């Protein structure tokens, strides 16, 4: 086997093993229930990522492969119209069968077939399809965690996915400062080398006006000030659709926050805990992020501004590998930008739309990103639930502007000629 295909095999095995580890604390019941239409059961995530390898790699490229169960294409196809009908997304929680044990048997079956395919002489196209499947699986590992958190938050017992950890409080919030960036023509997007999703390409030139970027994320303590100043009750701070969502959803704080005896508490993967004022605010929608920025006399960065600032930095931070699985306070005593990677996905004001000269991937994989380039906003940087190897400065995550159950937060930006500090 060539060194390149050996690397893909190792990447495949690591990605598949990571999903099993994340699912290990769950019972069959935990893994079956669907808490809302936007979330999916953990069991479905485990099966869908397996189906992706079966449908996108094994069926097209392995003549000897035999499908594990013909019914699974209907059960575990997500949104690929070209690959047939599917179980409606809001009803994935009805799949009490197959059992979690059967899903793991399905994973074993597909894993063995992929490894056998890679050990044989295969084309670069096969290796590229497997690599895409690995990154797809990493996306679903994060979704598994966010969806389990939402599920457990609906349970009055407030169960912990992780062994309950002590409250994260105690760190002193660090003062927010701003880094200045010159304007000019910059390059943005992924180059031709290395893995990237199709929506990150092609690399393009963008004109950027001089700007400034906050050196850390907005904290819970700062969000409490926004709440105390009736930020959720001032329509002039909100976009029209956002204000309607705020009223309809009776938003008064980030998702999962509750006030008890004058203190804010929140649901975490370690159970119900006090809100740490020094930690980054999280589970924030784009609408809330935009309203907070207006209240702060600032704005959200564009994705080109964010990428230009992040590109020279190492991809280091509080990722899922830390085991904390919640945002942590910015490190004090450091100069320059902090928390650019990990902790929380950072909302930008940029709509998720194609770069100039964008071309979707060929075949069914072309449905992966291109069909969602409408009505979504871009987030950057990864979160405490993102695998570190999945992240890069050019990565474009995207969600609808009212989405709150993801690990999403806020970094403020401003124009360089704005003298407000």
Query: What CATH number did the domain enclosing 308 receive?
Result: 3.90.1580.10
The verdict on residue 194 lying in a domain is no
Question: Where would I find the beta strands (DSSP E) of 149-270?
Answer: 178-181, 184-188, 204-208, 211-214, 258-260, 263-268
Look at residues 153, 183, 199 and tell me which one is the last residue of a structural domain. Answer: 153
* Structure confidence at residue 394 (pLDDT): 98
For position 60, what pLDDT does the model report?
95
pLDDT of residue 293: 98
**Integer Cα distance of 398 and 60 in angstroms:** 29
Which residue, 134, 153, 172, sits at the end of a domain?
A: 153
- Whether 198 is in a domain gets the answer no
Q: How far apart are CA 33 and CA 159, in angstroms?
A: 14
Judge residue 33's burial from the number of C-beta atoms within 10 Å of its C-beta, 0-12 exposed, 13-18 middle, 19 or more buried: middle
**Considering the domain boundaries, does residue 40 fall inside one?**
yes
Count CB neighbours of 357 within 10 A: 9
Same domain, 137 and 243: no
pLDDT at residue 167, as a whole number: 61
Buried b (16+ CB within 10 A) or exposed e, 106-130: bbebbbebbeebbeeebeeebbebb
Let me know whether 137 and 256 are in one domain: no
Is residue 101 situated within a structural domain?
yes
Whether 173 maps to a domain, the answer reads no
Do 266 and 409 lie in a common domain? yes
The DSSP code for 57 is I
Q: Are residues 13 and 142 in the same domain?
A: yes
**285 located within any domain:** yes
Q: What is the CATH number of the domain that holds 25?
A: 1.20.120
What pLDDT was estimated at residue 1? 55
Give the other-Cβ count within 10 Å of 43's Cβ: 29
Same structural domain for residues 280 and 142? no
Cβ–Cβ under 8 Å, residues 313 and 340: yes
244 and 127 part of one domain = no
Which pLDDT score is estimated for 251?
98
Query: What contacts 360, CB < 8 A, 6 or more positions away?
Result: 198, 366, 367, 368, 369, 370
Please check whether residues 116 and 221 belong to one and the same domain. no
- Residue 223 in 3-state DSSP? helix
Is 164 part of any domain? no
> For the chain, which residues score pLDDT lower than 50?
none
In a domain, 200, yes or no: no
Copy the structure tokens of residue 182: 């010159």
Encode pLDDT of 85-135 as tens digits: 999 999 999 999 999 999 999 999 999 999 999 988 778 899 999 999 999
* Residue span of the structural domain in which 52 resides: 3-153
The values of phi and psi at residue 398, to 5°, are -155, 140
Tokens linked to 38: 């936007």
Total domains present in the chain: 2
302 and 348 in contact (C-beta within 8 Å)?
Answer: yes
* One domain, residues 57 and 134: yes
Same domain, yes or no: 257 and 345: yes
pTM value? 0.96
Where is the domain boundary, 153, 174, 192? 153
The pLDDT assigned to 168 comes to 56
Cα 415 versus chain centre, distance: 28
> Which pair of tokens denotes residue 343?
């902790």
Same structural domain, 294 and 394: yes
Give, in order, the Cα–Cα distances in Å from 203 to each of 33, 187, 198, 283. 41, 7, 11, 31
Burial string for 370-389 (b: 16+ CB within 10 Å, else e) reads eeeeeebbbbbbbbbbbbbb
- The reply to whether 144 and 254 lie within a common domain is no
Angstrom distance (rounded) from CA 325 to CA 62: 38
The answer on 410 and 294 residing in a single domain is: yes
Q: Report the C-alpha gap between 133 and 140 in whole angstroms.
A: 11
**Tokens 């004001």 — which residue?**
349
């Amino acid at each position: 086997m060539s060194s390149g295909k050996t690397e893909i095999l190792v990447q495949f095995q690591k990605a598949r093993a990571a999903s099993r580890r994340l699912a290990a604390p769950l019972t069959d019941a935990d893994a079956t229930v669907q808490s809302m239409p936007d979330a999916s059961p953990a069991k479905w995530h485990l099966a869908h990522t397996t189906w992706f390898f079966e449908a996108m790699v094994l069926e097209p490229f392995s003549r000897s492969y035999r499908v594990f169960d013909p019914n699974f294409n209907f059960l575990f196809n997500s949104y690929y119209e070209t690959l047939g009908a599917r179980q409606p997304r809001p009803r994935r929680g009805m799949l009490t069968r197959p059992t979690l044990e059967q899903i793991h048997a399905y994973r074993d079956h597909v894993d063995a077939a992929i490894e056998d395919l890679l050990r044989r002489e295969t084309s670069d196209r096969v290796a590229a399809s497997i690599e895409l499947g690995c990154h797809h699986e990493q996306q679903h590992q994060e979704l598994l965690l966010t969806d389990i958190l939402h599920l457990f938050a609906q349970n009055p017992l407030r169960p912990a996915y992780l062994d309950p950890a002590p409250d994260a409080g105690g760190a002193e919030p660090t003062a927010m400062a701003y880094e200045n960036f010159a304007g000019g023509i910059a390059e943005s997007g992924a180059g031709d080398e290395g893995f990237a999703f199709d929506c990150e390409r092609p690399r393009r030139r963008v004109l950027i006006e001089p700007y400034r970027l906050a050196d850390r994320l907005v904290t819970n303590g700062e969000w409490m000030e926004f709440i105390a100043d009736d930020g959720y009750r001032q329509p002039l701070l909100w976009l029209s659709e956002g204000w309607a969502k705020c009223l309809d959803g009776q938003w008064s704080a980030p998702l999962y926050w509750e006030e008890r005896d004058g203190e804010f508490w929140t649901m975490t993967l370690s159970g119900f805990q006090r809100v740490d004022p020094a930690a980054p605010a999280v589970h924030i929608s784009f609408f809330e992020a935009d309203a907070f920025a207006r209240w702060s006399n600032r704005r959200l960065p564009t994705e080109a501004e964010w990428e230009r600032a992040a590109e020279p930095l190492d991809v280091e931070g509080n990722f899922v590998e830390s085991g904390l699985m919640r945002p942590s306070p910015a490190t004090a005593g450091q100069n320059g930008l902090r928390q650019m990677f990990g902790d929380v996905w950072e909302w930008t004001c940029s709509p998720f739309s194609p770069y100039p000269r964008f071309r979707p991937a060929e075949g069914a994989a072309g449905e992966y990103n291109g069909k969602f380039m409408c009505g979504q906003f871009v987030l950057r940087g990864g979160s405490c639930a993102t695998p570190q190897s999945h992240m890069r400065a050019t990565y474009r995550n995207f969600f609808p502007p009212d989405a709150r159950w993801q690990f999403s937060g806020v970094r403020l930006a401003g124009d360089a000629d704005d003298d407000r500090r």
